[in-house]
């Protein structure tokens, strides 16, 4: 390994700084030395924050948790793209080796009217939680639990449900949509539960409640498909179509209520 490889490279981070949601925000530019190709974008922020703390400066606030692409907490916008330059990859898994020719990273919060800024890169994504609270669950009778295999689920149906259950609720689909739509997120949740035998009894009520909550919090679908291009879980665009389909089905089958 050469001395240059050991020293790493130098990048410029243009980070959005905002003290709180009502304060004016601005970009501040930082030079970060010693960055290696193995680092993720979040690790670059860690390195920068270590220096800012050592200098007695307020570190950049950002969300993260598992750093394995599972929790959905890490979402930021990098050079105008939710999560970063690499498609279908969360911010914590965007490594610098994937874009060796990029030396300037403009990092800002996920931009959507439904996601107000809390501080710096941190946004409030509780609008997604409010959609889930209206119907993203299954009601079961209390008492002794039945056998695990008492309710059969066909293999292909179970696989489909798992595909849509992979949504991690990061909010990148909302930020990518010019209308701030949450159709991909809502459709994934609706399809996940619609495929499961024990959840189908509430299918109509769930569709009505979740789509109403979605429309109250988010904008209409743009039909451009930007959401699927940034989704870390690779949720397919068929989830978007499911929103209208599930709502229409409820209108035809009111006995589901």
Q: What is the mean pLDDT of the chain?
A: 92
Is residue 237 within 8 A of residue 184, CB to CB? The reply is yes
Looking at residue 201, its pLDDT comes to 84
Whether residues 79 and 38 share a domain: the answer is yes
Residue 248 CB partners (closer than 8 Å, separation 6+): none
Q: Where are the alpha helices (DSSP H) in 68-154?
A: 126-135
Query: In which domain, by residue range, is 17 found?
Result: 3-119
Whether residues 10 and 113 share a domain: the answer is yes
Whether residues 130 and 113 share a domain: the answer is no
Q: Is residue 257 over pLDDT 90?
A: no
Query: What are the pLDDT digits (tens) for 98-114?
Result: 999 999 999 999 999 99
How big is the chain by its Cα radius of gyration, in Å? Answer: 21
Whether residues 134 and 202 share a domain: the answer is yes
Q: Is residue 2 over pLDDT 90?
A: no
Q: Residue 214 is part of a domain; what is its CATH number?
A: 1.10.1060.10
Q: Is residue 52 over pLDDT 90?
A: yes
Least confident residue range of 27-41, 184-198, 239-253: 239-253
Whether residues 132 and 248 share a domain: the answer is yes
Looking at residue 101, its pLDDT comes to 92
Whether residues 98 and 130 share a domain: the answer is no
Q: Which residue from 242, 101, 113, 228 is spatially nearest to 172, judged by alpha carbons?
A: 228
Is residue 206 within 8 A of residue 256, CB to CB? The reply is no
Q: Residue 50 is part of a domain; what is its CATH number?
A: 3.10.20.30
Pick the last residue of a domain from 104, 119, 134. Answer: 119
Looking at residue 8, its pLDDT comes to 85
Whether residues 28 and 112 share a domain: the answer is yes
Pick the last residue of a domain from 119, 136, 170. Answer: 119
- What is the pTM (predicted TM-score) of this model? 0.90
Rounded average pLDDT over 172-187: 97
Whether residues 13 and 86 share a domain: the answer is yes
Looking at residue 254, its pLDDT comes to 61
Least confident residue range of 73-82, 127-136, 190-199, 222-231: 190-199
Kindly state the percentage of the chain with pLDDT values over 90: 81
Whether residues 10 and 98 share a domain: the answer is yes
Whether residues 113 and 133 share a domain: the answer is no
Whether residues 112 and 231 share a domain: the answer is no
Rounded average pLDDT over 34-46: 96
Is residue 88 within 8 A of residue 235, CB to CB? The reply is no
In angstroms, rounded to a whole number, what is the distance separating the alpha carbons of residues 47 and 38?
13
H-helix or E-strand spanning residue 29: strand 26-35
- Residue 68, classed as helix, strand or coil, is coil
Instruction: Band the pLDDT of 5: cuts 50, 70, 90.
Output: very low
Pick the last residue of a domain from 98, 119, 140. Answer: 119
In angstroms, rounded to a whole number, what is the distance separating the alpha carbons of residues 189 and 183?
10
Q: Is residue 156 over pLDDT 90?
A: yes
Number of separate domains in the chain: 2
Rounded average pLDDT over 224-250: 93
- Residue 204, classed as helix, strand or coil, is helix
Query: What are the pLDDT digits (tens) for 107-152?
Result: 999 999 999 999 999 999 999 999 999 999 888 777 776 776 777 8
Whether residues 131 and 243 share a domain: the answer is yes
């Amino acid at each position: 390994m050469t001395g240059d490889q050991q020293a790493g490279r130098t990048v410029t981070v243009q980070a959005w700084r905002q003290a709180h949601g009502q304060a004016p925000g601005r970009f501040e530019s930082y030079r970060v030395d010693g960055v290696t190709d193995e680092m993720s974008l979040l690790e670059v922020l860690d390195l920068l924050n270590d220096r800012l703390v050592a200098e007695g400066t307020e570190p950049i606030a950002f969300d993260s948790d598992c750093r394995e692409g599972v929790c959905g907490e890490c979402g930021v916008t990098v050079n105008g793209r939710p999560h970063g330059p690499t498609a279908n990859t969360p911010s914590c898994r965007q490594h610098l080796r994937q874009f060796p020719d990029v030396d300037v990273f403009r990092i800002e919060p996920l931009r959507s009217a439904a996601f107000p800024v809390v501080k710096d890169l941190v946004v409030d994504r509780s609008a997604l939680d409010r959609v889930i609270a209206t119907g993203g669950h299954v009601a079961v009778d209390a008492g002794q639990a039945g056998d695990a295999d008492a309710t059969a689920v066909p293999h292909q149906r179970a696989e489909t449900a798992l595909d849509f259950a992979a949504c991690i609720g990061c909010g990148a689909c909302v930020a990518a949509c010019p209308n701030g739509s949450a159709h991909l997120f809502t459709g994934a949740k609706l399809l996940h539960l619609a495929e499961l035998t024990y959840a189908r009894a509430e299918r109509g009520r769930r569709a009505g409640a979740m789509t109403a909550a979605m429309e109250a919090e988010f904008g209409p679908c743009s039909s451009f498909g930007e959401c699927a291009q940034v989704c870390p879980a690779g949720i397919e665009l068929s989830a978007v179509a499911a929103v209208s389909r599930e709502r229409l089905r409820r209108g035809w089958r009111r006995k589901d209520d």
